Structure 1
Amino acid sequence: MIIRVQPSLLATVTLGILVSSCGVSEPELPPHLEFSQPVLELGLERTGQVEIRNTGGQSIGPVELIPGEIRDLGGSMVPGSRLSLDPVEVPTLNPGDERLLTLELSLDGSMNSGEYDTWVRARGPEVSALLAVRFTVLSELETAVTSVKILAPSFDPRAGDVINLPLEARDKAGTLLQGVPVYWSVQPSQAGYVTKNGRFVGYKTGPMSVIAQAGTVADTLVLDVLHRNIDGSFIVARTGREVRRYTSDLWLHGDVLYSGTWGTRQTGTQSSFGNTLNIWDISTSGTTLQNIEKSFSIEIDARVVNDVKVRTDGELAIITHEGSNDALNGITILDLDNPLEPTVVSRFTTELESGVHNVWIEGDYAYLVVDGVGNGLRILNISDPENPSVVARFWAGESFLHDVYVRDGLAFLSHWNAGLVILDVGNGIADGSPENPVEVSRLSELGGQTHNAWYWPESGYVFVGEEDFDSPGIMHVVDLRNLLEPREVATFRVPGQTPHNFWLDEGSGTLYLAWYGNGVRALDVTGDLLGELDHQGREIAGFAYNGGSGTCNRGSGDTCSWAPQFHGGLVWVADMNEGLLGLEPPR
């Protein structure tokens, strides 16, 4: 007898014989435990259910189910309350098996209202899984709420406008309840921001919902947020080229612009140091593009002239020394009897030998930022410019001081990783004076690298720069309406670079920010400020006037903005690579 076998069947039989004879098989997966969800949100409920599963390839047993301690959001254990589980053990979970677990909370009646958490651990011989459990406890007042109503504003807000949303909570008798905790939210969540007190700001335009929940009752208010409509643009009106040296800070007074120089710049085979103060005549009027020329320069013993300031009476200026050959550094005081050709009055170096990074002049006193940890601030009496003297010192106890700004008898110290430190130097709030500075308050939680600050008394805000090249940096808005309790309320970011120095045109409420390779930015800071300003349509214009890579690229012609100053109707900008620009503002 002849038996015919189909080729496909023969192949199957042959493969089966080979597999059987060689003992080849799929590797067995290890055991694996997991809950059906990583977090169980119970809310106001006291019971809940979740599944425990074996998603591996081997049996697990026994599996213990262990409840955790109940803790508040601060991490403190809550005595008298516990989490019960049913079952507390599963003898065996085979591959693919799942088992329903029931959780029940027993809470102590004296627990404060708020959010709490605990956990459940499933533990087998070699594997385990963790479930986070969260729940909420209401106060007696919250349980009495039967209705809530958000009172709508009488107008449609623009993006960036901060509005207060009053809320009425009533009990079943219609009585208005006071002090009820309210939980606020915005939908979509990226459309705006609302505080726990019902202060709202819109990020996007169009309709969005603000939701307020008190106890188990909620109300939703739909707002139609309008566009801010403040777009504008800068126009280059004046230029002053300085390509032999890097340009640092600038200061303008009358028809004269003073600019410092920084570091070492290589041009071909020639090295030029930052040892020069340049003086520019900007008296020519008009808005058509015009060049300004240096009228005079002063060379000093330094490798960095980081800062220059002119006293408000225009009679005296101070420039700073860093990297001096004689290792004395200090400051040079200038007589501005002829503002276009200043003359040296004196050089002062006592207690300033490590270098002076920034200066502020207020009347007969100069506030000096001395380089190095532990040095901090020196205050000089300059009533006799030929013989200045150190009359006061301050250091925050950590980090180094980077900048100082004085206004209304308050000194604002940008104290790097120590944050923003505020001193009374004549304000009276802490009985301080220039010769006896007294700390009023400080705000350390600004991300570190606190670089510069500008105080606007009319608004009560301080605009603080964070010069972080890794993050990159941020402009922080600090509410200082209570001088004793500064608090951050808003931020502004520009991707890719970090900010440097700022100038505020208080008449229009426009903050000008030098942002290195991202150029100069104009920001609307009128009204109340809250949340992320870069999401609110508050940026009027951003201008990288020389283009470039967005990274400064020192030694090229790329945009590298160091500092702005609004003066004579123009925004003057010190650019490290190219020198000076006078820009027509965007509004």
Structure 2
Amino acid sequence: MNVARSQRFVTTTALFLAIPLAITGVTPGAAAAQVATQAVVARLVAEPAKVTIRAGESLPFKVTAYDAQGQIIPDAVVRVGGPRQAVAFSDGQVRAFRAGSYTATATAAGATGPIALDIPVLVSWPALSKLAITADSGRLYTGISLGHRVDGTHADGSSRAGLIPTWRSSAPAVASVDRFGTVTALKAGTVVISAESEGFRTSKTYTIITNPVSALALDIKEHVILTGQVVHLNATARTATGAPVKDAVITWSYTYTPDDTTVAPGGPGIIDWGRFTANYPGRFTLLAQSGNVTARKVLEAKPRDVVRRITVTGRGSIATTATSDLWPWTGKDGRDYCLVGTWGGDGYGMVFDITDMNNIVKTDSIKIDARTINDVTVSPDGRYGVLAREGASNRVNGVVILDLANPAHPKIASTFDQELTGGVHNMFATNDHLFAISGGQKYVIIDVKDIYKPKYVSEYQHPNARIHDLWVRDGIAYSAQGGVGAVMVDVGNGKYGGTIEKPKLINVFPINSGHEIYPYFQKSTGRTYLFLGDEEMNRAGRVWEGTNYRATLGSAGGVAQTSGGYVHIVDATDPMHPRKVGRYHLEDYGAHDIIVEDDILYQAYYDGGVRVVDVSGELMGNLADQKREIAVFKPYDPKAFTANAPFVMNAMPWKGQVLFTDFNSGLWSAKLEPKAKAITP
């Protein structure tokens, strides 16, 4: 599973990260052992002190740490982060992706708290080499408006983001164009629509004829829907004789009458990709229009009533250190167990017997050479388990493979560190292979058929990206990679030319999220949805900025952590043409690990607790707005590592219940109570 903390890889002078500072701030508790044995950082110096660069380029960059006497500390742990998908710092380089004025921040652990250095970064675009107009589909008949966009390309083939051209019409009386590229046909005739930017010009010629549409026939069967239910918008344009006009442009809109005008929200519904969904209950009138011809359909949206009570059933309390990930499994002895990792816990992994989730019992612990066991996993057949190592004393990290023949008391079968010395933050296990992320740079595929003699098979590294999480389904590895988004690779599916020995890139979906990922195949619709989670360990600049917990994070006591970010939902049914369709967004908290099973999302939402969400049917819009939340539990514990500070790291369904780990209080189990039946008079 995927418990998110700062990823590490060492350079000769410093340690760089290509993910935002929000994720990577240094925590003195975690660095306490280092501070005690090495010189303490008092000052940071960046070279260059101000970065000026063009998008698509990279420049040498380093940060040097000095102690109070002005001496260089060559092995200091320094992290540098900047805005996602704008700039990235790694391998002694700074890379730029998007123009703008930014501030990167370098941090290191000082004597009493983090030492920080702000680094101005100015990124400009390279010169354009080409412009091209793309129009929305459909024929430009009179009375029709058609959207257009301009794509700009640089000499190296990269695309210009955020291009704002100047639009012109050669015959405004025939067709007008607004500053957004929307062309409206006014009368029959010929017109040239042009767009200009930075000395380049491109154009498109239209011959406009009279609109033949005289009627619209709607094909929407629904009359009553639930909030969040997706309605496909189907209509056929016809001539006066009843013949279909196949190239007619049909636009959709709606009007809304709320159930209660005193609590009427903004943005009650969404129209996108030829579909409609209602966020809130009420009466919606769908309007289809083609020129001056309209048609309408009234829908009633009722509340989605999915709320259920959640009840805690058991605890595996951990209050002496912070807790990271969990993974449950059924042992060879027929009993159920859960492997749990620790964060900054001196390399202890723990085993709990969870057969009776009303009485969770710790059976053993495993000590390995690591500062943090960020991720743990178990093979589907329960044959082996794995502990991921970060912060090993000799800086040789890798993974520790466990023999689970005696599941209550696992024994170490082997260690594997080939190509994994940068620290392993996340993993994914199949019965025969283990996928392990190496220092945020790549994932390494390991043959574990013989767990006592694991073997290197292959690896995949995506350029200019920092991988944080991956999940493999049907021979496709889906990974969340900072700087690029969701990366899909054929690792044995075969349809896209890849094998486990020779992984092959399928596609990349650019999205401002590179932290958690979970691919889910939804049986009812035949769709594959990717759930991609942000992790932002910083709320600076928001209305509620949260608490300044960094000075005590990783040490017992302290104050509650705060977080930001949310879950993006991408339809990746066709990996070659994925598209974002929705989100699960709560403003005051931050998303972490994600599992979906039987159309229910089990979401670790950090200080927002564990959240159970209905994701049935086609998905569109913000699930939180649509009242799809089934249950929420925030694990307050006065005796926790940090008292009464919920911070849920991971949540998984297990045999009708919910298992989750809390950073400050350990392992919990809970169950969803049956939904109360309505009482009829």
The answer to whether TM tops 0.5 is yes
Say whether the 8 Å CA contact 1:81–1:106 is kept in structure 2. Answer: no
Question: Given the alignment of the two structures, is residue 232 of structure 1 paired with residue 308 of structure 2, yes or no?
Answer: yes
Residue of 319, 325, 334 corresponding to 1:243: 319
Question: Given the alignment of the two structures, is residue 376 of structure 1 paired with residue 442 of structure 2, yes or no?
Answer: yes
Q: Deviations over 1:390-446 (max 9, x none)?
A: 2211111012110111111111111122211111111111121111111111111x2
2:95 corresponds in structure 1 to none
Q: What root-mean-square deviation, in Å, do the aligned CA atoms of Structure 1 and Structure 2 show?
A: 3.0
1:21 corresponds in structure 2 to none
Residue of 482, 493, 496 corresponding to 1:416: 482
Q: Deviations over 1:240-288 (max 9, x none)?
A: 110001110000002111100002xxxxxxxxx3411010111226xxx
Q: Deviations over 1:311-350 (max 9, x none)?
A: 1111111110001111101110110110010001111122
2:409 corresponds in structure 1 to 341
Residue of 615, 620, 624 corresponding to 1:530: 620
Q: Comparing 379-388 with 155-164, which one deviates more in the overlay?
A: 379-388
- Aligned to 2:326, what secondary structure does the other structure show? strand
Say whether the 8 Å CA contact 1:201–1:530 is kept in structure 2. Answer: yes
Cα deviation, residue 572, structure 1: 0.3
2:108 corresponds in structure 1 to none
Report how many aligned residue pairs link the two structures.
459
Task: Work out the CA distance in 1 between the residues paired with 2:210 and 2:353.
Answer: 69
Q: 1:334 to 1:106 in 2, by over 3 A?
A: closer
- Aligned to 1:223, what secondary structure does the other structure show? strand
2:351 corresponds in structure 1 to 279
Cα deviation, residue 141, structure 1: 7.0
Cα deviation, residue 306, structure 1: 0.6
Q: Within 5 Å, give how 1:247-266 maps onto structure 2.
A: 247-254=323-330, 255-263=336-344
- Aligned to 1:148, what secondary structure does the other structure show? strand
1:571 corresponds in structure 2 to 658
Task: Work out the CA distance in 1 between the residues paired with 2:461 and 2:422.
Answer: 15
Task: Tell me which amino acid in the other structure corresponds to 2:624.
Answer: D
Q: Within 5 Å, give how 1:78-117 maps onto structure 2.
A: 78=168, 80-81=170-171, 109-111=189-191
- Aligned to 2:267, what secondary structure does the other structure show? helix
Greater relative contact order (Cα < 8 A, sep 6+): 2
Task: Work out the CA distance in 2 between the residues paired with 1:112 and 1:162.
Answer: 38
Question: Given the alignment of the two structures, is residue 213 of structure 1 paired with residue 213 of structure 2, yes or no?
Answer: no
Q: Deviations over 1:280-320 (max 9, x none)?
A: 111226xxxx4423110011111110111111111111110
Percentage identity across aligned positions? 28
Say whether the 8 Å CA contact 1:573–1:582 is kept in structure 2. Answer: yes
Task: Work out the CA distance in 1 between the residues paired with 2:234 and 2:476.
Answer: 35
1:474 corresponds in structure 2 to 566
Task: Tell me which amino acid in the other structure corresponds to 1:386.
Answer: Y
1:190 corresponds in structure 2 to 267
Cα deviation, residue 170, structure 1: 2.2
Say whether the 8 Å CA contact 2:476–2:488 is kept in structure 1. Answer: yes
Q: 1:530 to 1:313 in 2, by over 3 A?
A: same
1:453 corresponds in structure 2 to 518
Cα deviation, residue 218, structure 1: 2.0
Task: Work out the CA distance in 1 between the residues paired with 2:231 and 2:169.
Answer: 41
Q: 1:476 to 1:106 in 2, by over 3 A?
A: closer
Task: Work out the CA distance in 2 between the residues paired with 1:511 and 1:537.
Answer: 13
Cα deviation, residue 149, structure 1: 3.9
Q: 1:360 to 1:180 in 2, by over 3 A?
A: same
Task: Work out the CA distance in 2 between the residues paired with 1:73 and 1:380.
Answer: 46
Task: Work out the CA distance in 1 between the residues paired with 2:191 and 2:575.
Answer: 36
Q: 1:344 to 1:191 in 2, by over 3 A?
A: same
Say whether the 8 Å CA contact 1:420–1:450 is kept in structure 2. Answer: no
2:418 corresponds in structure 1 to 350
Say whether the 8 Å CA contact 2:490–2:505 is kept in structure 1. Answer: yes
Task: Work out the CA distance in 2 between the residues paired with 1:106 and 1:225.
Answer: 37
2:390 corresponds in structure 1 to 322
Q: Deviations over 1:189-211 (max 9, x none)?
A: 722112252x1111111212211
Say whether the 8 Å CA contact 2:170–2:191 is kept in structure 1. Answer: no
Task: Work out the CA distance in 1 between the residues paired with 2:338 and 2:507.
Answer: 35
Task: Work out the CA distance in 1 between the residues paired with 2:623 and 2:593.
Answer: 18
Task: Work out the CA distance in 1 between the residues paired with 2:630 and 2:661.
Answer: 20
Task: Tell me which amino acid in the other structure corresponds to 2:312.
Answer: V
Residue of 158, 168, 188 corresponding to 2:226: 158
Question: Given the alignment of the two structures, is residue 402 of structure 1 paired with residue 468 of structure 2, yes or no?
Answer: yes
Question: Given the alignment of the two structures, is residue 433 of structure 1 paired with residue 525 of structure 2, yes or no?
Answer: no
Question: Given the alignment of the two structures, is residue 364 of structure 1 paired with residue 401 of structure 2, yes or no?
Answer: no
Task: Tell me which amino acid in the other structure corresponds to 2:292.
Answer: T
Cα deviation, residue 77, structure 1: 4.3
Task: Work out the CA distance in 2 between the residues paired with 1:340 and 1:141.
Answer: 78
Q: Which has the larger radius of gyration?
A: 1
Say whether the 8 Å CA contact 1:159–1:202 is kept in structure 2. Answer: yes
Say whether the 8 Å CA contact 2:191–2:206 is kept in structure 1. Answer: no
Q: 1:586 to 1:405 in 2, by over 3 A?
A: farther
Task: Work out the CA distance in 1 between the residues paired with 2:515 and 2:287.
Answer: 36
Task: Work out the CA distance in 2 between the residues paired with 1:161 and 1:438.
Answer: 36
Cα deviation, residue 489, structure 1: 1.1
Cα deviation, residue 152, structure 1: 4.1
Cα deviation, residue 450, structure 1: 3.4
Task: Work out the CA distance in 1 between the residues paired with 2:576 and 2:171.
Answer: 40
- Aligned to 1:157, what secondary structure does the other structure show? strand
Task: Work out the CA distance in 2 between the residues paired with 1:82 and 1:111.
Answer: 8
Residue of 613, 635, 656 corresponding to 1:545: 635
Residue of 506, 517, 535 corresponding to 2:607: 517
Say whether the 8 Å CA contact 1:490–1:532 is kept in structure 2. Answer: yes
Task: Tell me which amino acid in the other structure corresponds to 1:171.
Answer: T
Q: 1:494 to 1:154 in 2, by over 3 A?
A: closer
Q: TM-score, normalised by structure 2?
A: 0.63
1:498 corresponds in structure 2 to 590
Question: Given the alignment of the two structures, is residue 223 of structure 1 paired with residue 288 of structure 2, yes or no?
Answer: no
Task: Tell me which amino acid in the other structure corresponds to 2:380.
Answer: T
- Aligned to 1:448, what secondary structure does the other structure show? coil
- Aligned to 1:402, what secondary structure does the other structure show? strand
Say whether the 8 Å CA contact 2:143–2:211 is kept in structure 1. Answer: no
Q: 1:171 to 1:274 in 2, by over 3 A?
A: farther
Q: 1:221 to 1:415 in 2, by over 3 A?
A: same
Q: 1:139 to 1:160 in 2, by over 3 A?
A: farther
Task: Work out the CA distance in 2 between the residues paired with 1:504 and 1:485.
Answer: 22
1:487 corresponds in structure 2 to 579
Question: Given the alignment of the two structures, is residue 581 of structure 1 paired with residue 661 of structure 2, yes or no?
Answer: no
